[in-house]
Amino acid sequence: MKSDGVEVVTAGATVAQFKEDVIVGEVGSGLRNVKIDADAGILIRNNTTTIASFGEDAIIGEVGSSKRNVKIDADAGILIRNNTTNLANFDTDITLGEVGTNKRNVFIDASAGVKIRNNTTDIASFGSDVTLTGGTFTINDGTRDRLIINSSDITMTDEAGNDQFNVDTGVVTIGSATDKVTIDGTSGITIRENNADTISLVNGVVTVGSSTDKVTINGTSGITIRENNKDNITLTDGTIKVGVDENNSTFIQIDSDSVDIIEDVSGTNNTVASFGVSTTIGSSTDKVSISASGITIRENNKDVITMASDVVTIGSSTDKVTINGTSGITIRENNKDNITLTDGTIKIGVDESNSTFVQIDSDSVDIIEDVSGTDSNVASFGVATRIGAIADDTSRVEIASGGVKIINRQGSTDTTMLNFKDDGDIESGDFLIERSRLFGAGNDGDVILKSNTAVVTNGEGSADEDGTESFLD
């Protein structure tokens, strides 16, 4: 027992000390003891080296160079340390790994999620979203890298190790070197097949095919179909061209109002046919024109045939044939209608003042004379034939099945001057008819006149009395 406290000694060794601080156990090399430090708390020691302490904070394990220990910090949580360097921290948030320059650690943030860090800089974050920052991200199937993400590009390979997807400097490539889709922020989109670019999309222009055989869709200039290195079909501003538009070629042009056949002669386009509301076939000087108003055939820069409103005209204005569904057919020559056919009646000759023409209808052929605008029928040939007009103070001949008549009209009264009947007799009201070479058979003979009869003795014919006249011998 001493003035500063009590020591327990066994075989000359102090095994306990009870002073301001209390030590239970011998203090010596390789010996364990417990020290109750009035200021620091309870210390479990190896000799004088603390291997555990229990005070305001608790430490389990020796604190020293390359020594691992666990510290229970009343404020900071549970710390797993190397000497005094934290290797893990368990609190509201958890840190696994040392926090320091170029040191990787995992930080589990109770609010934000799990973070993989370099010192305090996040290089991966797993929370509501997943973020990987910096370095190279690689997925390997055990044989080869299948997905590589780094600061320069992203690459995916297939099971044979061939690149099938790549993102590099604004360019996305999907597929192999010979069959792929390339998306370039500058030069557009290209689809390559069998080692040839078959589809491209650049600056609003879509191209399908090779340079010599392709379809081009341009938002400004339209659609072009190219074959054998020539543009064969184009669609621009509502106009379609079918065929090659080049020197000495022919093509079809279709727009909103017509279908045109155009011939290019030494760089100059000539429309040789046009089909629309109006249809034209041929050049400006030799063509057929068809419209709602009719059909016109033009030759040597003159309209030679027109068909309009049921009227067909062949020829010029002065020499032509006009076929009218209503008024008939007219043949005009030297600017005069020389032949007309109307309602079954044919006129041959010019029907105008002081002219003569022939008129043929269903029952006769008439010769008509126009005198100062008045038509006069001067002859008619039909079932009955008449030569001469039926007019006052004129004579005429009429031939019918009953005979031939020579008629004279004085005033409005007709007188038959001679009547040649169908039985061979000749009658006349004012003339003596004698048999002669002109009238009758022309034979000579003797007629004996008697008081009551007449007898023919020589020659032919007959004679008889009429019962009213008598002769004396």
CA distances from 241 to 234, 273, 446 (A): 5, 14, 107
42 vs 182: CA distance, rounded Å = 72
CA distance 333 to 354: 18
In this prediction, residue 329 has a pLDDT band, given cuts at 50, 70 and 90, of: very high
Residue keyed to tokens 């004698």: 434
Distance CA 437, CA 143 (A): 145
**Predicted pLDDT of residue 133:** 78
Looking at residue 403, what is its pLDDT?
86
For residue 53, pLDDT over 70 is answered with yes
How many CB atoms lie under 10 A from the CB of residue 178?
A: 10
Task: Report pLDDT for 472.
Answer: 53
Mean pLDDT throughout 28-47?
A: 89
Which 8-state DSSP code applies to residue 255? -
Using left for φ > 0, alpha for ψ between -120 and 50, and beta otherwise, residue 407 falls in beta
pTM of the model: 0.50
Picking from 159, 162, 202, the residue whose alpha carbon sits closest to that of residue 183 is 202
- Ranking 154-158, 171-175, 183-187, 460-464 by mean pLDDT, the lowest is 460-464
Whole-number percent of the chain with pLDDT over 90? 33
CB atoms under 10 Å from CB of 95, counted, come to 23
pLDDT for residue 259: 93
Q: Rounded to the nearest 5°, which phi and psi values hold at 167?
A: -120, 120
Amino acid letter, residue 297: I
At 101-110, the pLDDT tens digits run 999 999 999 9
Tell which wins on pLDDT, 298 or 470.
298
CA atoms of 300 and 47, how far apart (whole Å): 135
Higher local confidence (pLDDT), 283 or 350: 350
Strand 279-282 and strand 287-291: pairing?
A: antiparallel
Can you give the pLDDT at residue 224? 93
Name the β-bridge partners of 145. 140
Q: Which of 28-37, 209-218, 390-399, 431-440 has the lowest mean pLDDT?
A: 431-440
CB 47 within 8 A of CB 28: yes
- Asked if residues 241 and 255 have their Cβ atoms less than 8 Å apart, the reply is no
439's CB contacts (< 8 A; 6+ apart) are 426, 433
- Residue 225 scores a pLDDT above 60: yes
pLDDT band at 157; cut points 50, 70, 90: very high
436-458 tens-digit pLDDT:
545 455 556 666 666 667 677 77
- Which SS3 state, helix, strand or coil, does residue 283 take? coil
Assess contact for 352 and 336: CB atoms under 8 A.
yes
Q: Is the pLDDT of residue 25 over 80?
A: yes
Average pLDDT over residues 222-238: 93
Among 95, 100, 65, CA closest to 83: 65
Query: Tens of pLDDT along 398-439?
Result: 888 888 888 889 988 888 888 888 888 888 766 655 555 454
pLDDT at 201: 92
Token digits of residue 254: 């279709």
Q: Give the Cα separation of 74 and 287 in Å (integer).
A: 110
Instruction: Give the Å distances, CA to CA, from 57 to 19, 40, 179, 309.
Output: 23, 9, 67, 119
pLDDT at 341 over 70: yes
Residues 6+ apart with CB under 8 A from 150: 135, 136, 137
Determine contact, residues 218/224, Cβ cutoff 8 Å. Answer: yes
Neighbours of 274 (CB within 10 A): 21
Residues 62 and 245: their CA atoms lie apart, in Å, by 96
Report d(CA 151, CA 134) in Å as an integer.
7
pLDDT of residue 464: 62
Residue 293 has a pLDDT of 86
What confidence category does residue 4 fall into, taking pLDDT thresholds of 50, 70 and 90? confident
Q: Is 36 helix (H, G, I), strand (E, B) or coil?
A: strand
Antiparallel, parallel or unpaired: β 355-360 and 13-18: unpaired
C-beta of residue 308 within 8 angstroms of C-beta of residue 295: yes
Calculated CA dihedral for residues 339, 342, 344, 349, nearest 10 degrees = -20
Contacts of 129 (CB under 8 A, 6+ apart): none
**CB distance 244 to 224 below 8 Å:** no
Interval 298-317 mean pLDDT = 88
d(CA 283, CA 270): 7
What are the backbone dihedrals phi and psi of residue 53, each rounded to the nearest 5 degrees, phi first? Answer: -140, 145
Per residue in 62-101, pLDDT tens? Answer: 899 999 999 898 888 999 999 999 999 999 999 999 999 9
Structure token digits, residue 76 = 């900071």
